[in-house]
A and B are shown apart, each in its own frame.
Chain A
Amino acid sequence: EVQLVESGGGLVQPGGSLRLSCAASGFSFSGYWMSWVRQAPGKGLEWVAIIKQDGSEKYYVDSVRGRFTISRDNAKNSLYLQMNSLRAEDTAVYYCARDNVDSRDYWGQGTLVTVSS
């Protein structure tokens, strides 16, 4: 059974940093692109970042480029999102998702990031 479990969310002050983790199991993690998608409270889904199987390609939404870094450790079956210079508008539930057939076919349960003073 495919499982994705996010962790690392919490309350952080504006300008601060946070690192999210996503533990994957039940599939060959190194064989898939992986994404982060976020959802602000009461709002819609927003794609955030994606990373290739070997980490050699990474892409970001314009609003986080230069502040967020996506990475992975295939030996640990883990995906990460390093978030720096956080802003109030980054407040959201962050989901990790597996990419397959040009879609996000499995999703984690999400972790809440709140940016507030």
Chain B
Amino acid sequence: QSALTQPASVSGSPGQSITISCTGTSSDVGGYNSVSWYQQHPGKAPKFMIYEVSNRPSGVSNRFSGSKSGNTASLTISGLQAEDEADYYCCSYATGTTPWVFGTGTKVTVL
């Protein structure tokens, strides 16, 4: 099972919106609504941001939103803030011998 494909980096200015893609196949992202997203600041543990494609856990800012079309899931950060600068990872359920697979990760830079 290969890692899901994410862009290595995405950047934006404060206040702007950015979107991070997460591309898989019909055996993972496209086949299930079990996509989640995680934020990780340097030296810290990942933080749970989105579950089941588009649901936000309590306490997560509504500036973060998720969606999916076909084999690609997306995380959108609106009103970009300096504190959003971090690495972001998607994760999906997958058929096969390995039931969960993470994306390659995206570094978000706030210009």
Contact = CB atoms under 8 A, between A and B. Distances in A.
A13 interface: no
Interface residues of B, number: 27
B103 A44 contact: yes
A80 interface: no
Contact of B51 (A45, A101, A108): A101
B34 A44 contact: no
Interface of B: 1, 3, 34, 36, 38, 40, 45-48, 51-52, 55, 57, 87, 89, 91, 93, 97-105
26 contacts: A35-B100, A44-B104, A45-B38, A45-B91, A45-B105, A46-B3, A47-B91, A47-B100, A50-B99, A62-B1, A62-B97, A95-B46, A100-B51, A101-B52, A101-B55, A103-B36, A103-B51, A103-B52, A103-B91, A104-B46, A104-B91, A105-B51, A105-B57, A106-B48, A108-B45, A109-B45
